[in-house]
Chains A and B, each alone.
Chain A
Amino acid sequence: MMAGEMRKSALMAIDEINGSDEFDFTFAAHLRDPGGVVAAYHTACDDLIREEQVDHIVGCYTSASRKQVIPIVERTERLLWHPARYEGFESSDNVIYVGAAPNHNVVPLVRHMLDQIASDVFCIGSNYVWTWETNRVVREIVTSAGGRILAERLLELGETAVDHIVSEIIERKPPAVFNTLVGESSYSFIRALHEATMRAGLAIPMLSCSLCEPELELIGSVASVGCVASSAYFESIEGPANRAFVARWKARHGADSNPCVDGLSTYVCVMLLARAIRRAGSAEVGAVRRAAANHRYDSPQGPVWVDPDNNHCFLTPRLARSVPGCQFKIFWEADAPERPDPYLSNLDLTAVGTRLERSNDAMTKRSNHLRIVK
């Protein structure tokens, strides 16, 4: 699903640039679809560079695919504009990382959990690098705050047999569930957990740093309500830039279609690229990279710019709760775009706080680094 959303968004951005007077050049899109087959990314990228003489490549959703492409763009001095959030611990000169770094999405969500929900958590995720690393960060923050990881359950990618884990959750009644499942595994799990908690009369908060609006639709309008999600983009962001973007999206893709963070991020990739080319006066990779650095773009997700220290982007972290209608209601956002920290080298665990008071009085709970909006 994500590949389709990302392609739609890239093409939309390209059409907007090509139809705009603001740019004295047009983009020609060369499409390749490796279809999630990891080894095919190397071939597709090689082909784009050799055959199509492409300078800039927008794409890759998984880290496995990105790691196929990086050696080629490094060897041939091209730029990969990478839209997806990922687990961090990478910083190639030939990649512009436009998706969230772990300090943008994982850290605020865990802090919110510790401050407002619970210090003990049950983790469930897909058995791959993003879950492993996210869980490690969750564990580090939670345990340093005096909390506990009650369990860490993993499902193979694509696995939809979730009942044994749902039963375990119902039996153990953890105060929170941290979900890093992806795709169908996640949808099956959220549906099954919703049904089981309803039957058992339980309310167990579930947190995710990847859920997006089109996925809420896939989960179902009832079961998808009440998830706490962390993301740099939600469709419900206020402000003229996003309202106009959503209107253009719906005009192009239909009133029933919803943009999502990965699609928006792909759109931002193309826009950042176009602005950097305009600023550089050239599509040459070195010039574009220099021009992209610190060049602010007021995007639908707010101001975005590339931090030349690590080629990742300043983004605004946000937390939201899913509501009826397959939308997210934002309840917190950072005061300003946050500097990307792909190695989490600025994560100060001593500042995360102590164990949550076992009290229901919200006033006694620490929340000095979270600001509630609305």
Chain B
Amino acid sequence: MTRPSPFSVRGRRALVVMREEREISIVRRQLNRLGMTVAEHDPAEVPPPDENVDVIVMDADSIPIKSDPARAWKVHAPIIALIGTETPSRLKWLLDLQPASFLIKPLRSAGLYTALVVAFDSAQRRIDEAAHLERLEDRIRSRRMVLAAVLQTMRAHDLSEPDAFRLIRQTAMRHRTTVEQLSAEIITTGGMPNRTTRTA
């Protein structure tokens, strides 16, 4: 899968969650210049489903902190927060949304493109990091299986623990598989697989 460059924003879809028409018009105009499509959403309403949204431009001041809409904003699309009030109570609410980037009000035409690029980049990094974390967690979960396979190999071949692990690792390399997958096979088949052909 080729990932989109954070610098190319044309064709991406923005959801604008803002209250003041003067500021909305600045954002709308700039997003249109960049070739993005723009939808608007009333901050007083609960958030819409976000599958058709690539980025959310949200006026943080437009949503009362302690309200149903405020609690419902747990979305997957990256959020660009527009900040007018820098009080910790407001910022705490914002941090819970994990904004991908932000802009300080009053808005100007400059700055929005940077905020978009940072938002798309950090959203992609977040996806990459989540996938990386998932792989690491998989490996941690399979530690128990590797341990069981090592013990079984020690018994079956009368080997020390380092030798048993070395044998599993070498076999896994020969079979072009991972230690974790081979360990699962050892446990299910009850012994070292007798494959000589390489699984390519």
Contacts and interface: CB of A to CB of B under 8 A. Distances in A.
Interface in A106-162: 127-129, 132-133, 135-136, 154
Contacts of B61: 64, 67, 129
Q: Which secondary structure dominates where chain A touches chain B? A: helix
B20 A39 contact: yes
Q: How large is the interface on B (under 10, 10 to 19, 20 to 34, 35 or more residues)?
A: 10 to 19
B67 A127 contact: yes
A133 B92 CA distance: 11
A63 B106 contact: no
Interface in B82-125: 84-90, 92, 105-106
A87 B22 CA distance: 25
A83 interface: no
Interface in A259-315: none
Contacts of B106: 70-71
A90 interface: yes
A88 interface: yes
A19 to B, nearest CB: 39
Given A39-B20, A42-B22, A132 B84 contact: no
A132 B90 contact: yes
A88 B84 contact: no
A136 B89 contact: yes
B64 A133 contact: no
Nearest to B86: A89
Contacts, number: 44
Interface string B54-76: 00000001001111000000000
A64 B85 CA distance: 9
A87 B84 CA distance: 13
A272 to B, nearest CB: 25
Given A39-B20, A42-B22, A71-B106, A133 B88 contact: yes
Contacts of A90: 86
A129 B85 contact: yes
Contacts of B66: 127, 132, 154
A129 B87 contact: yes
Given A42-B22, A71-B106, A132 B67 contact: no
B65 A67 contact: no
Given A132-B65, A132-B66, A67 B90 contact: no
A87 B67 contact: no
A90 B87 CA distance: 8
B85 A63 contact: yes
A93 B20 CA distance: 24
Contacts of B87: 87-89, 129, 132-133, 136
Contact of B90 (A39, A42, A129, A154): A129
A128 B64 contact: yes
Most buried by A among B20, B21, B22, B88: B88
A135 B85 CA distance: 16
Contact of B85 (A89, A136, A154): A89
27 contacts: A39-B20, A64-B61, A67-B61, A67-B84, A67-B85, A70-B106, A71-B106, A87-B87, A88-B87, A89-B86, A89-B88, A90-B86, A127-B66, A127-B67, A129-B85, A129-B87, A129-B89, A129-B90, A132-B65, A132-B87, A132-B89, A133-B87, A133-B88, A133-B89, A133-B90, A136-B88, A136-B89
Interface of B: 20-22, 61, 64-67, 84-90, 92, 105-106
Interface of A: 39, 42, 63-64, 67, 70-71, 87-90, 127-129, 132-133, 135-136, 154
